[in-house]
Amino acid sequence: MSTRSHRLTVRHVRDDEYAIRLRAHELHTDQPESDRAPSPIELFVASLATCVAHYCGTYLRRHELPEDGHAVHAEYEMAADRPARVAAIRVRVHVDASLTPQQKAALQAVVNHCTVHNTLRQPPVVEIRVDSGDPAPAERQEAGRQR
């Protein structure tokens, strides 16, 4: 199975505000105290909610059900202990269309398997590496040998 890499860049703007560049888009994050933009945690929860909304809309269109008025509401709680993290997320899908019990069960199955939810259930490998303006010792040695 081949994978396709996607990229984005986050740059400091001021104080706790950061700009996210991805494709042709720019989003900002900030901390709630400044309130210039959503916080990273709010965007995290929003990514789950919008993914659920997308899967819901896709189901409704595929089954020729009205998608007007469908909405997703999410709330979250932070953990009281360490490490700092989101402890719970509750997502509620509202559909204005009348659904049969079978349609409701099928929609539940579809939204339970949105890509973001699947990622939370099977977390990706996360690698965080710190680079600085100074080359690492091994890189300095290698550069010295090449001269």
- Same domain (yes/no): 45, 108: yes
- Same domain (yes/no): 62, 105: yes
* Whole-number Å distance between alpha carbons of 100 and 97: 10
pTM of the shown model: 0.85
- Same domain (yes/no): 26, 44: no
Take residue 90 and report the two structure tokens written for it: 């509750």
- Same domain (yes/no): 13, 65: no
Q: What is the pLDDT of residue 136?
A: 61
Residue 2, in any domain of the structure: no
* Whole-number Å distance between alpha carbons of 115 and 112: 9
Report the domain count for the chain.
Answer: 2
pLDDT tens-digit series, residues 52-70: 999 999 999 999 999 999 9
At residue 71, what is the residue type?
A: A
pLDDT tens-digit series, residues 98-107: 999 999 999 9
Residues of the chain below pLDDT 70:
1-2, 135-147
- Same domain (yes/no): 74, 26: no
Kindly tell me the burial class for residue 141, based on how many C-beta atoms sit within 10 Å of its own C-beta (0-12, 13-18, 19 or more).
exposed
Residue 105, in any domain of the structure: yes
Report the b/e string of 65-86 with b at 16+ CB within 10 A. bebeebebebebeeeeeeeeee
* Whole-number Å distance between alpha carbons of 124 and 51: 17
Give SS3 for 51: helix
- Same domain (yes/no): 34, 14: yes
